[in-house]
A and B are shown apart, each in its own frame.
Chain A
Amino acid sequence: MMVKQITSTLISLALALPLLAQDDLLAGLEAEQADQKTLVDATFKGTRLINGHSIETRKQGVMDFIIAHRFGTIDGGAYELFGLDNALVRIGLEYALNDRLYAGAGRSSFEKTYDGFVKYRLLRQSTGKGSVPLSATWLSSMALKTLKDPTYDLQFTDKLAFTHQLLLARKFNNGLSLQLMPTWVHRNLIGETDLNNDILALGMGGRIKLSQRVALCAEYYYQFQHLNENTQNALAIGVDIETGGHVFQLQFTNATSMVPKGFVSETTNDFFKGEIHFGFNVSRTFQLN
């Protein structure tokens, strides 16, 4: 009993002591803050790594308007101005319902595709007490191809494809962030020459900051199964430039499609034969509330 009393008195005293013992007022205050848990933010500049999503979502009440272009392949040469004669566009609108839940929809001119996605931040990298070493975000995306096909009478559900991804990322320091993306693509209907309804892929990518506002990014999706004999793994190399409320992303990629099921499993260009699209994403952010 006695021991207990002495201990609790000592503990109370010890709690009162730190500030007393500090000759230096400031050192005392800093010691109080040292263990505070803080979230690591800005692992990537935008909600897209290049073609695919990054772990980033926007903060509650933010609306993002994204215009993305992919030009024709640069091997068309000067006659097609290295692909610029031929542009595909995706227009998208996205909104952050809260700091973790993010949803958006878009429409691509390529195959007249509508797409929608939901993203949820499962884990957020943090420092300090009870810190989490990495960020994890779940992405589910749906795509509806509406390009008319006169040879088949397709039902609505036949035109749907789904992509689910677990995005795992870590910001190692201010300059380096890496991301892994285990990916599952499922399409309800496949063509005559296609092999698999389901395709598993592993994406990997990252960014290196060249300055406070400019970053170099790379992204690669390795497929464990292929849709058919012509598909290639998607590779992209890009530069992010940030100016206030805008993020400009310039990229070189062999992928034509700008929706997940497309660039992961339908890419047919060979990057190393020069079948590369130049393209850009421009994101403009609005704070709605």
Chain B
Amino acid sequence: MKREILTIILGLITAGLAMAQGPMVDRSGTATFFSEAPLENIEATNKEVLGAIDLEKGTLAVSMLMKGFHFDKSLMEEHFNENYVESDKFPRATFKGVISNFAALDFSKSGSFEAEADGEIEIHGVKKPLKTAVKFDVSAKDLKATTSFNLAVADFDIEIPTIVFKNIAEVVEVKAFFNFSRPK
């Protein structure tokens, strides 16, 4: 029994070492979007966003389930999934890209700096190039990443019918936050 536990611990350490060379993953990243329109402001938060960063290659990836977005009004949530982003057909939104100024950055030292992420965002089955500033906060135990950008709803083939035009903004503000803990 003891031996088995030992091997499992050994296995986990090996796994930990393996992870140290691989990407860092945050399974509880946060993404929010905010729509400001004449009739009502709409805000939704997703706290189950998966984010990964590879500090060897300078690559980034984000994947989130659309049904993970929660709204103040449950009916808005239903309409968001059913009428706008069609979550059954397109369950997730993703981003895949690189840190374009990666060579000039030092992730081994503690401190804050800005980087530029350059890649492709996919929402509602539509892929669009996206360049956005990412603020990194580096410390000995973790790596935090924050970004914010605007998206035009129409770019992603999401139609807003005229009847609710005053309820939904044409451009929504998106924010995302990740906290990657360093493998021990």
Whether A36 sits at the interface, judged by CB under 8 Å, is yes
Q: What are the residues of chain A within 8 A of B62 when measuring CB–CB?
A: 26, 29
Which residues of chain B have a CB within 8 Å of any CB of chain A?
3-4, 7-8, 10-12, 14-16, 18-19, 21-23, 25, 27, 50-52, 54, 59-63, 65, 67, 72-75, 77-79, 81-83, 86, 88-89, 91-92, 94, 96, 159, 161, 163-164, 167
Q: A25, A33, A243, A287: which has the most chain B beta carbons within 10 Å?
A: A25
A32 close to B15 (CB less than 8 A): no
Given A11-B11, A16-B15, A16-B18, is A4 in contact with B4 using a C-beta cutoff of 8 Å?
yes
Q: What are the residues of chain A within 8 A of B11 when measuring CB–CB?
A: 8-9, 11-13
Q: What are the residues of chain A within 8 A of B27 when measuring CB–CB?
A: 32
Bound: A51/B79 CA distance, A: 23
Query: Would you give 9 A-B contacts (Cβ < 8 Å), ordered by A?
Result: A20-B19, A20-B21, A26-B61, A30-B94, A33-B65, A42-B81, A60-B74, A212-B161, A245-B75
B61 close to A29 (CB less than 8 A): yes
**Number of A-B pairs, beta carbon distance below 8 Å:** 125
Q: What are the residues of chain A within 8 A of B50 when measuring CB–CB?
A: 29, 32-33
4 interchain residue pairs of minimum CB distance = A12-B11, A16-B15, A59-B74, A25-B61
Bound: A8/B7 CA distance, A: 7
Whether A41 sits at the interface, judged by CB under 8 Å, is yes
Interface residues on A, range: 35 or more
B67 close to A38 (CB less than 8 A): yes
Give 7 new A-B contacts, CB below 8 A, not counting A5-B7, A26-B61.
A12-B15, A19-B23, A29-B63, A38-B65, A41-B81, A59-B77, A174-B88
Q: A8, A24, A58: which has the most chain B beta carbons within 10 Å?
A: A8
Q: What are the residues of chain B within 8 A of A17 when measuring CB–CB?
A: 18
Whether A133 sits at the interface, judged by CB under 8 Å, is no
B88 close to A62 (CB less than 8 A): no
Q: A11, A174, A244: which has the most chain B beta carbons within 10 Å?
A: A244
Which residues of chain A have a CB within 8 Å of any CB of chain B?
1, 4-5, 8-9, 11-13, 15-17, 19-20, 24-26, 28-30, 32-33, 36, 38-42, 58-62, 173-174, 212-213, 242-245, 285, 287
Chain B nearest CB from A260 CB (Å) reads: 25
Q: What are the residues of chain B within 8 A of A20 when measuring CB–CB?
A: 18-19, 21-22
A40 close to B88 (CB less than 8 A): yes
Chain B nearest CB from A241 CB (Å) reads: 10
Bound: A24/B54 CA distance, A: 10
Partner of A213, one of B14, B96, B161: B161
Chain A nearest CB from B135 CB (Å) reads: 20
Q: What are the residues of chain A within 8 A of B159 when measuring CB–CB?
A: 212
Bound: A187/B25 CA distance, A: 62
B88 close to A173 (CB less than 8 A): yes
Bound: A58/B77 CA distance, A: 12
Chain A nearest CB from B24 CB (Å) reads: 10
Q: What are the residues of chain A within 8 A of B65 when measuring CB–CB?
A: 33, 36, 38
Given A41-B81, A174-B88, A244-B167, is A8 in contact with B4 using a C-beta cutoff of 8 Å?
yes
